[in-house]
A and B are shown apart, each in its own frame.
Chain A
Amino acid sequence: MHEREARARLAAAQAEVVRALVADGPVPPGFDSAHIALARQVLRDKQAHIAHRRALAAARATQRATPWATDVRRPLWRRVLARLAWKTR
């Protein structure tokens, strides 16, 4: 019983902090607002970095799957050949 209550208290406190960090929630009482503001920025930067790496990986996967469509640096004759090869595979 005591354990359940203690866990519920911790859950509520952590939910408040997480909301402040990633969901524009208010800074909970007693916390240093400068540190929370910095933490928000660090988490935002990290999310942007993760999204960027995922986008890069997705772009690479697309390029591998459809080289004739996405590799604009290759000369036209190579792209046409690659497309023919893809169409006849």
Chain B
Amino acid sequence: MTCLPATVGLGWRPETAWLIHQRAAELGFCEVIAENIRLDRPLPAALAQLVERGMPVVPHGVSLSLGSAEPPDPARLDHLARVAERLHAPLVSEHVAFVRGGGLETDHLLPVPRTREVLDIVVDNVQRAMAVLPVPLALENIAALFQWPDQELDEAEFLAELVARTGVRLLLDLSNLHANARNHGWDPLAFLAAVPLAHVAYVHVAGGIERNGFYHDTHAHHVGAGSLELLAAVRARAGQVPVLLERDDAFGTRAALEAELAELAHITDMGAAGA
């Protein structure tokens, strides 16, 4: 259920653009934050070059808020669709989350209450989004800072039902899964057994840090052993699935980033693009 090559990829940032350009033969795809792409001006030159050369670039939205009570905003959906067209993207991704409420923005991905009533709302929101988008949609599981009381479904069940009812793909974030397992006492392997891995379009891994007994998904540290173990588990259960390394800050040396990418390629037995 993927439209991406079975390789390792890297999140496109101005700080990683040069590395992606240099390693375009090995890195089979990349991902860019959709809200950072302005449609009223040319693409950043480095990104335009990648698109021209045929590298798949996935627009990753962070503000659609498909977990909100309101249906997705047509203007935000339109922006996401047009970015997908501009980048010739094979798919777009977003999150099972809400980011605003009561007229206030939070600039953060927040967990939805996992009840059947809310599932119906999210199913409807996702179907509306899929009707507008020109390419398939994949939804990411987020790292939850808190849990709602009185939930009816666990996260794997919620995602499995969402996939069954809408046909949406999954962007399986293994570091978010690790974070939730650590912070809320879940079994991550039980999650992997219950979630429809055949519908995973690609996987995210990112670094994080444990502070005062709470794991923070920072995207600013080396990918930890917990995430890497889950990556090996996915490899064992689902074969070669594209994996994207997310890094948003504290980029460190180029050598360190390259070593991390090599580590991911080794764990997943995925070599160069087209190999």
Residues on A lying within 8 angstroms of B by beta carbon are 3, 6-11, 13-19, 21-23, 29-32, 35-36, 38-39, 42-43, 46-47, 50
Contact A13:B100 (CB < 8 A) given known A7-B69, A30-B150: no
State A21–B104 Cα separation when bound (angstroms).
Answer: 10
A35 CA to B117 CA, complexed, in Å: 24
**Which of B2-10, B105-113, B192-200 binds A?**
B105-113
Secondary structure type dominating chain B contacts: mixed
Interface size class of B (residues with CB under 8 A): 20 to 34
Is A18 a contact partner of B100 (Cβ separation < 8 A)?
Answer: yes
Q: Can you sample 23 A-B contacts with CB below 8 Å?
A: A6-B118, A6-B121, A8-B69, A10-B68, A10-B113, A10-B118, A14-B68, A14-B98, A14-B110, A15-B101, A17-B101, A19-B101, A22-B104, A22-B106, A30-B148, A31-B147, A31-B149, A32-B146, A32-B147, A35-B145, A39-B146, A43-B106, A47-B107
Question: 1/0 per position for B39-74, CB-CB distance to A under 8 A?
Answer: 000000000000000000000000000001110000
- When distances are taken between beta carbons in the complex, the residues of chain B under 8 Å from A3 are 120-121, 124
Please give the residue numbers on chain B whose beta carbons come within 8 Å of chain A beta carbons, in ascending order: 68-70, 98, 100-108, 110, 113, 117-118, 120-121, 124, 145-150, 214, 216
Is A43 a contact of B108 with CB atoms below 8 Å? yes
Bound-state CA distance A6–B90 (Å) is 34
Question: Which residues on B sit within 8 Å (CB–CB) of A18?
Answer: 100-102, 104, 106, 110
Q: Smallest Cβ distance from A45 to chain B, in angstroms?
A: 10
A40 to B214, CA, bound (A): 14
Kindly provide the distance from the CB of A50 to the nearest chain B CB, expressed in whole angstroms.
7
Residue of A nearest to B184 (CB): A35
By the criterion CB–CB under 8 Å, are A16 and B107 in contact?
Answer: no
Q: Which residue of A is nearest B117, CB measured?
A: A6
Q: Which of B68, B104, B149 contacts A30 (CB 8 A)?
A: B149
Distance to closest chain A CB from B134 (angstroms):
27
Task: Decide if A11 touches B69 in the complex (CB within 8 Å).
Answer: yes
**A3-B120, A18-B104, A19-B104 are known contacts. Are A42 and B110 too (CB-CB below 8 A)?**
no
Nearest B-chain residue to A14, judged by Cβ = B101
- Give the residue name and chain of the B residue nearest to A30 (CB): B149
- Which residue in chain A gives the minimum CB-CB distance to B183? A35
7 more contacts with CB within 8 A, not counting A10-B117, A13-B113, A18-B110, are A6-B121, A7-B70, A10-B118, A11-B101, A15-B104, A18-B102, A19-B101
Contacts of B98 in A (CB 8 A): 14
A9 touches B214 (CB 8 A): no
